[in-house]
């Protein structure tokens, strides 16, 4: 059986440089490397996206999001499948079955839930349950590799736990994705990626950050992105060192440089280690990000909506076939069929 690599990005608002470097670009690089031997599933988690307010029209956002992968260099072929989650009803159906084996305790421990809801009673149930939907997204297709940023690792571990629990209780049904440690290795990294907020580098760069210079959007003009990087918070040590605990701002810039240029972090550290020039490093990173955005934004124009809709038509056909077969197996195992 061919292995599957799978990922998705919510489309409730525009993508940040964090989404791009943490998930989109790693997926594109893996797909280009492995799509001759693996299935590659790139799906739009549109049902996930409505857990928070949606900017713009969700149907157009779905189309646009796929253009982002193509503009980032994805080479399309018949082993790469594009689909929208809401067009494959099995995702919602498997979620229900998995809900019945997930425990309240493990769900309440999800950091993303705590952060997104502040654990308020008024927060919606979708925010609480979305890790189970994510598990369904992965398990329906037997995905082994799920390239995501570090903030999603807890959900991968939950997916593994739910798959193992189901298999133990009802018999071998699901492929268990590899551990987050192995996911990181598969991405060719030493640790998970967590791009930081430029103004408050102890936090991750997030779509919802309010600070004007906190995040870079992929739609930012390259000049604006340069300004944001030049105003990034650093520290008062005055010496460039890669150390996220003590020097998150500088380490974030080094990490961005490494990912944008696809050069090992060790090389970037070697270039800059112990140099005192924070301003020089910022200029270097700003230039790399400026080039990235200029190239990326030009390429985004190259793809028509019709082309993406054709990719969805093929992909959704495929996805429904695979997902329905797995769902049927699950229903048989729990005696619903």
Torsion sign, CA atoms 247, 249, 254, 258 = positive
290 is catalytic: no
- Using Cβ positions, the residue closest to ligand TYM within the complex turns out to be 22
259 vs 281, which CB is nearer to ligand TYM?
A: 259
- Strand-pair partners of 84: 44
14 vs 151, which CB is nearer to ligand TYM?
A: 151
- Which residue in 3, 67, 108, 116 is the catalytic one? 116
259 vs 336, which CB is nearer to ligand TYM?
A: 259
Contact positions vs ligand TYM (CB under 6 A): 6-10, 18-19, 22-23, 45, 48, 134, 137-138, 146, 148-149, 151-152, 193-195, 204-205
Nearest by Cα to 65 from 9, 7, 6: 9
Q: How far apart are CA 289 and CA 163, in angstroms?
A: 39
45 vs 249, which CB is nearer to ligand TYM?
A: 45
Q: How far apart are CA 27 and CA 4, in angstroms?
A: 12
Whole-number minimum distance, CB 208 to ligand TYM, in Å? 10
29 vs 307, which CB is nearer to ligand TYM?
A: 29
- Which residue in 67, 120, 181, 204 is the catalytic one? 204
Burial class of residue 265 in the structure, from the number of CB atoms within 10 Å of its CB (0-12 exposed, 13-18 middle, 19+ buried): middle
Whole-number minimum distance, CB 192 to ligand TYM, in Å? 8
207 is catalytic: yes
241 is catalytic: no
Whole-number minimum distance, CB 274 to ligand TYM, in Å? 26
Whole-number minimum distance, CB 302 to ligand TYM, in Å? 23
Burial of 217-254, coded b for 16+ CB within 10 Å and e otherwise, reads bbebebebbbebbeebbbbeeeebbbebeebbbbbbbb
Nearest by Cα to 82 from 70, 91, 96: 70
Nearest by Cα to 104 from 119, 89, 82, 93: 119
Whole-number minimum distance, CB 168 to ligand TYM, in Å? 23
Residues designated as active site: 116, 204, 207
């Amino acid at each position: 059986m061919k292995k599957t690599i799978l990922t998705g990005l919510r489309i409730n608002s525009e993508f940040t440089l964090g989404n791009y470097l943490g998930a989109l670009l790693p997926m594109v690089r893996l797909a280009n490397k492995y799509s001759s031997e693996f299935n590659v599933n790139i799906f739009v988690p549109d049902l996930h996206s409505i857990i928070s307010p949606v900017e713009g029209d969700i149907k157009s956002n779905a189309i646009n999001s796929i253009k982002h992968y193509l503009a980032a260099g994805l080479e399309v072929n018949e082993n790469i499948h594009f689909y929208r989650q809401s067009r494959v009803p099995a995702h919602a159906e498997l979620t229900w079955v998995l809900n019945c084996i997930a425990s309240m305790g493990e769900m309440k421990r999800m950091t993303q839930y705590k952060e997104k809801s502040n654990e308020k009673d008024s927060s919606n149930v979708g925010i609480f349950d979305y890790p189970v939907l994510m598990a369904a997204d992965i398990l329906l297709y037997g995905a082994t590799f799920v390239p995501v940023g570090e903030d999603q690792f807890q959900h991968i571990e939950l997916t593994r736990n739910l798959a193992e629990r189901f298999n133990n209780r009802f018999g071998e049904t699901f492929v268990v994705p590899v551990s987050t440690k192995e996911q990181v290795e598969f991405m060719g990294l030493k640790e998970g990626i967590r791009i930081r907020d430029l103004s408050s580098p102890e936090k991750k760069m997030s779509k919802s950050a309010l600070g004007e210079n906190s995040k870079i959007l992929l739609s930012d003009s390259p000049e604006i992105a340069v300004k944001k990087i030049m105003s990034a918070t650093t520290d008062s040590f005055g010496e460039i060192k890669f150390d996220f605990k003590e020097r998150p701002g500088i380490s974030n810039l080094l990490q961005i440089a490494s990912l944008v240029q696809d050069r090992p972090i060790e090389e970037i550290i070697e270039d800059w280690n112990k140099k005192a020039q924070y301003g020089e490093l910022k200029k270097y990173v700003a230039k790399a990000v400026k080039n990235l955005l200029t190239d990326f934004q030009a390429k985004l124009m190259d793809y028509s909506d019709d082309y993406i809709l054709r990719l969805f038509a093929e992909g959704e056909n495929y996805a429904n076939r695979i997902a329905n077969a797995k769902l049927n197996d699950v229903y048989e195992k729990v005696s619903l069929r």
